[in-house]
Amino acid sequence: MKKAILYVFSGTGNTALVAELYKKYFSDYETVIYNIHKTGEEETVPQPADFDLVGIGYPVHGFNAPQIVNDFCKSLPKMNEGGADTGSGSKKTFIFKTSGEGLTYNNYSSQKIIRMMERKGYEFFTERHFVMPYNMIFRHSPQMVKSEYIYADAQVRLNVKELEEGRKNKLHYFPLRYWFVPVVRIEWLYARLQGPFMKVDMNKCTRCMKCANECPMDNIVFKTEGADGNKKESFKFGTDCTLCVRCSFNCPQSAISIGLLNNWKVNGSYHIKQTAEDASLEFPYFTEKLTGLYRWLFYKYYRRLDKELAQNGISL
C-alpha cells in the first residue's frame, strides 16, 4: 500500500481535525500525521522520501501561514534528482489550510510555501481551503460550527478523490489583490514581540499547567520566586510565540490575556464533532438568508464549494 505523510500545525485543533478526516478517507494510502512543533535536537522528523504523498496542513494567520510552518517547510529536504535546485522533482504534494472565514484572500497564504517547495522538487497537485470555527475575533455559533464541519468532511472526500485520481486543482490568485499579504506578514514579528504582553491572572489560575505543557513552542515557563510565606508565582512568556492561541483558547479559567489582541480573544472548545451531530441545530446554515457581514464572509465560499461538490458527485 502507498504511504502518505501529513505535516500539520494546529493551534486549537481545527486543522488537526481536518487532518484526521484525510486519514479516515484515504483508501489508497496508509497515512501518518506528524504534528509540527518546536523540536529538540534529538527528535527525528519522518522524511518525505519515505512517503508517496506529502500533505501540509496549517491554520491561516493574518492571511499567511504561521512562521513555524514556513520554517518547517524550509527545513524539508530537496526532492530533486541528486539534490540539485532544479525544480524538476516530483514528490506529489498537497496543501490544506483552515481559516475562520471564507474570503479568497486566505488562498494567498500558501504562495510563499509553494514557491519555496516547488524549487526543492515538490510537485503541488491540490490546494484546499477549509472554513472552520474562528479561534480569534468572534465566536462562531453552534449552527455555523455544524455546517462548517459537515462541509469540511465533504471537501476532504472531494480532495481525496482528486488526489487518488492524480488530478491537479490549485486555487486561483489575482496578483493585483495579493500585494498586501507580505505586508500582513508583520504578524510573524508581532508574534515574537508580544510575549511580554501576554499575562496570566494568577487569581483566576488554578496552576493546572495545561498552557505550559501544551504550548507547541515551549514558550511558557512557570516561575516561583521568594521563600515560603512570601512566595510569588507567575508565568513568563518567551519570544518564541507563534500566536497559535492554544494557551488562551484552552485555559479552563480563561485566565490568559493575549496582549493587544485580547479584545479578539475566543475562549473554550467548540466540541466540533459533537456539535455537528446535534440534529436539533439548523442545517445548512450558510444559505440565501445570510445578510450583511456574514454574507460577505461566507456566502460565496459555500456556493463555490456546493458547485464543486455537485460536479464531483459528492454529497454532504
Ligand X SMILES: Cc1cc2nc3c(=O)[nH]c(=O)nc-3n(C[C@H](O)[C@H](O)[C@H](O)COP(=O)(O)O)c2cc1C
Could you tell me which stretch among 12-20, 154-162, 215-223, 285-293 binds ligand SF4 (CB under 6 A)?
215-223
In sequence order, what DSSP letters do the residues of 163-179 get, joined into one string? HHTT--BPPP--GGGTT
Q: Does 72 bind ligand X (CB under 6 A)?
A: no
Which listed option, ligand SF4, ligand X, none, makes contact with residue 210 (CB within 5 to 8 Å by class)? ligand SF4
Beta strands in 27-100 (DSSP E): 29-35, 53-59, 91-99
Q: Which of 111, 102, 98, 195 is closest to 156 using CA atoms?
A: 98
* C-alpha grid cell, residue 86: 532544479
Q: Closest distance between ligand X and the C-beta of residue 169, in Å?
A: 21
Which listed option, ligand SF4, ligand X, none, makes contact with residue 171 (CB within 5 to 8 Å by class)? none
Q: Which of 107, 158, 104 is closest to 311 using CA atoms?
A: 158
Cα–Cα distance for residue pair 179/96, rounded to 1 Å: 22
Cα–Cα distance for residue pair 127/96, rounded to 1 Å: 6
Sketch the per residue contact string, 241 through 280, with ligand X: x for CB under 6 A, - otherwise. Answer: --xxx-----------------------------------
Interface with ligand X (CB under 6 A), residue from 48, 62, 89, 142:
62
Cα–Cα distance for residue pair 142/98, rounded to 1 Å: 18
Q: Does 89 bind ligand X (CB under 6 A)?
A: no
Q: Does 136 bind ligand X (CB under 6 A)?
A: yes
Which listed option, ligand X, ligand SF4, none, makes contact with residue 13 (CB within 5 to 8 Å by class)? ligand X
Q: Does 216 bind ligand X (CB under 6 A)?
A: no
Q: Which residues form the interface with ligand X (CB under 6 A)?
A: 10-15, 59-63, 98-101, 106, 132, 134-136, 243-245
